[in-house]
Structure 1
Amino acid sequence: MLTALYRTRITHLRRSPVHHYFEQSGYSWYVDIDNLPRLPGWLQPFARFEAEDHLSPSPHGGADTLRARVDGYLAERGIELPGGTVTALMQARVLGYVFNPLSVFWCHDGDGVLRHVIAEVHNTYGGRHAYLLPPTGDRPAAVKKALYVSPFNEVDGYYLVRAPRPDAELDVTISLHRENKPAFVATLTGARRKASIANILRLQMVAPVAPLMGAMWIRIQGVTLWARRVPVVPRAPAVVEREKVDQL
């Protein structure tokens, strides 16, 4: 698989207790985690991929690679995909900073058949949680919310995650539901671009230090909600539960 870039558009729509909408532009990488991009030395500060930015270290020890972390996560759930390709959508470190609100891993078996999807959500407090999903294609999968993401949302309800493998277009949707009604909807869309040096440089100009700007923009929206007197939910110690997944 060839490494690719997606010029992205991210939207957030909150439906309750107030209506609030915002969108921002950025870009994401689509990579084979066994064949991560190797950029010229002078360009590496603008695109570095570190295993520590995703999932947890493998309990079996050994080299701490992104592949080892994905395999370890699956092994803890009784899943083995020997030799299977894993592709991922993520942001790279830019000038040493990274913020991945959502990383998605598409896990294939040795025959190239998509078997599992891992959607990892990160919050602005340094926390993260990975949800194991079935390969539902264009249909959503449901999973119980397990991570405190926003000070304006309880850790309750469930997500509907629609994450088909990106091709010429990227089209991912996550919605938070309570009482079978959507309380919050986020989308990540974009058009595929070749991961050429020219395109990497162009994206640095139109979306400089994209991970940092993304995190700052989310915090600005938080201040906006606070100013609108949306109730603040205190952050409690995280309780990580084994994912409960239902195909819809």
Structure 2
Amino acid sequence: MDGLSEDSPLLPVVLTGDLLDRLSEHWSSSSVAAFAFSAYFTFVGKAVDLWLVLAFVGWNHASAITSIIKSLDLTQFGLLAGVVFPTSVLGYQFLGRILDVQTVKWNGPGRPFLIPSRTTHTRLFPKKHSFSYSYLVVGVPVGYSGNANGMISANVSGPSSWLSYFLDRRAWFDVNPADYLQRGHRDDGLRGKLDDYLENQNVDPSQYPHAYLVTAARFLGYHFNPVSFWFLYSQEKVLSAIVLEVNNTFGERRPYLVTRDFEAERHIQNGSTDDERQEPLRSRVKGSWNKDFHVSPFNSRKGSYSLLASDPLGPDMEGFRGIDITINLSSSKGHPKLVARLFSEGDALEPSSMGIFQKTRFLLGWFWVGVAFTFGIAQNRSKRVWDAWPTISKKQLEDAFRQYLSHLVQQSTAPITVKYIPSGVVGAVEEVFSSSSVTDSSATAESAEIKVLTPVFYSRFVHYAHDFEAVFSELAESCTLWVDKPELLPKIFLKKASPPLHASTPFDFLCFQLIKSLRSRPGRIERPLTSADQVSSSSQGLDIRDFRMSSMDAFVIGQGDTTLKKSYRAAVLRLFFADRIAFGNTDLLGMMELGARVGASWVLASLINQAIRGFS
């Protein structure tokens, strides 16, 4: 400025006055930009929106930013560092995996193995269909912890993601205890989880001190693992039982314990010829059980399974003889429907004996299978009929339902206890709730068990305006819920008058009014007919009741937990908007939301650029 040097103590005062003068001249554009920016980020803005706004503003002033970068002479350095550094890190880690020859020693029976296999599926009803494909599984002794020559790892602590395979002690194929039996992490790993499961089945874990797990391990953090097999051995290292752990497309797990019938085997051996007795018999486990678990949304829960599995290990659990497992599915009338088989295809490989070239050849040979399954999992997530909504939404709605159920039980005037069993949510555990009238000395308290069969129950429950209707519809029609004593449900889910809307803030009031307006009763989940079912009428009556705020809405609003209210309203609104504008697909809604955020960020950036031009 004329007449004022840069060292003058009056310079800050003059600059401040100049800024205020400019603000007064261009107060309109500046205030509009500031108000829009503040309002947007107060209600719906996220970190990604801020980055988008900065990117649009930077793009509009690209020439100025480019001149600054050129003056600093950082362009070539940045490009070089951006290419060389990641390439060097990934290359170093890849070579480290190949050249790594350190193996954690295991003194117990059995050893880790890579097991090239083939699986076949033959459907016999209602239409014959058959297919097969190559499938890689691994075998690990239950109790083994560590890394086997960079190829197989088990019970390794830390997060399991694709990046962790380059930054920590995980091998290419990793067996993560969190993927098996009870959800969540345990310090004692696979062995601790197995012991807990056996105890829950009223079985003494000491009967099976040795165990060997055959499963599809994680590859770069991903895996496709419909079924795992826990081979259980006695103190004498004789195969005595199998735990068959089934995973369905809803993210649920169901283990089945099948014990070996030694008495029946003795009868068979006594009736065999002398020549047959001289041939060593390979240990096998054979058993059957009723189907009580949805493996696929396109199959009924009725019917039964049968299993025939051979011992994969040699005598005394030494060596590896191969896997040979057959599972049959029959209808409720005993008609065969499906035959699935998993068997070894080629020799199993012991990682500790593999050299550099053998490991490289094996990884190149099976890499395409891992990539195919990884991309297949990513593409098919949106195709799941019952599980097409994010994991975070499951957790939010399950947590809200859990607290609401606890509240209902506590408020019940009847002495009652309820055992709640959740489904499909990581970290969600069973819990027992008691009414306020139940005391430790009460002998007349009634008990009920409420078991959620699929996590879709939580998303369907919030669609109902009436709790009583929701529970009985999901119990009797859609079968997403199971209750051992349905006659006790009226003592928990009472018919109540429409609760008034008492929101603590105007934003809460608007959100829950919107939820009330968007709410609609969900349709019945249609299941495939079995031979015992009758065709029902497809007509549905018109519901003329007022779809008001539900009792669970009122419960959430009345809580002082701001986090609960925020997560609940976000999850419910996301579901309802997906139903209205995205065909019920939350992934599609997410893409639409991203497009809206990009548009809003562009508008904000335009307002900011207009204000900036006013100062230039």
TM-score bracket for the superposition, by shorter chain length? 0.7 to 0.9
Whether the 8 Å CA contact 1:151–1:235 is kept in 2: the answer is: no
- After superposition, residues 7-156 of structure 1 pair within 5 angstroms as 7-36=116-145, 38-39=147-148, 40=150, 44=170, 46-56=172-182, 63=187, 65-82=189-206, 84-135=209-260, 137-138=283-284, 140-156=286-302
Q: d(CA) in 1 for partners of 2:284 and 2:241?
A: 14
- After superposition, residues 185-204 of structure 1 pair within 5 angstroms as 185-190=339-344, 191-196=346-351, 197=354, 198-199=358-359, 200-204=362-366
Q: d(CA) in 2 for partners of 1:133 and 1:110?
A: 18
Which structure has the highest strand share of the two?
A: 1
Which runs of 5 or more residues in structure 2 are unaligned? 1-109, 151-164, 262-282, 313-319, 386-476, 485-616
Give 1:122 shift: 0.8
TM-score (norm 1): 0.78
Partner residue, 1:245:
none
Partner residue, 2:22:
none
Change (3 A) 1:181 1:37: farther
Partner residue, 2:309:
163
Which letter maps to 1:44?
A: R
3-state SS of the aligned residue for 1:6?
A: strand
Q: d(CA) in 2 for partners of 1:154 and 1:181?
A: 14
Give 1:32 shift: 0.1
Change (3 A) 1:127 1:71: same
Q: How many residues align?
A: 228
TM-score (norm 2): 0.34
Describe the superposition over 1:20-60 as per-residue Cα deviations: whole angstroms up to 9, x where unpaired.
Answer: 111111210011021145143758352111111010159xx
The share of aligned pairs that are identical, in percent, is: 27
Which structure has the highest helix share of the two?
A: 2
Give 1:214 shift: 6.8
Partner residue, 2:326:
173
Which letter maps to 1:169?
A: G
Whether the 8 Å CA contact 1:106–1:118 is kept in 2: the answer is: yes
Q: d(CA) in 2 for partners of 1:194 and 1:96?
A: 22
Whether the 8 Å CA contact 1:3–1:37 is kept in 2: the answer is: no
Which letter maps to 1:4?
A: F
Q: d(CA) in 2 for partners of 1:11 and 1:214?
A: 18
Whether the 8 Å CA contact 1:81–1:110 is kept in 2: the answer is: no
Q: d(CA) in 2 for partners of 1:45 and 1:100?
A: 18
Q: d(CA) in 2 for partners of 1:217 and 1:102?
A: 20
- Rg larger in 1 or in 2? 2
3-state SS of the aligned residue for 1:24?
A: strand
Give 1:140 shift: 2.9
Which runs of 5 or more residues in structure 1 are unaligned? 224-233, 242-248
Change (3 A) 1:207 1:145: same
Whether the 8 Å CA contact 1:28–1:90 is kept in 2: the answer is: yes
Whether the 8 Å CA contact 1:148–1:238 is kept in 2: the answer is: no
Describe the superposition over 1:149-178 as per-residue Cα deviations: whole angstroms up to 9, x where unpaired.
Answer: 122210111101112221422111111011
Which letter maps to 2:216?
A: Q
Give 1:66 shift: 1.0
Q: d(CA) in 1 for partners of 2:483 and 2:214?
A: 23
1:237 pairs with 461, 480, 491, which one?
Answer: 480
Whether the 8 Å CA contact 1:145–1:156 is kept in 2: the answer is: yes
Change (3 A) 1:123 1:212: farther
Higher relative contact order (CA 8 A, sep 6+): 1
Give 1:74 shift: 0.3
Q: d(CA) in 2 for partners of 1:71 and 1:33?
A: 11
3-state SS of the aligned residue for 1:187?
A: strand
Give 1:210 shift: 6.2
Give 1:115 shift: 2.7
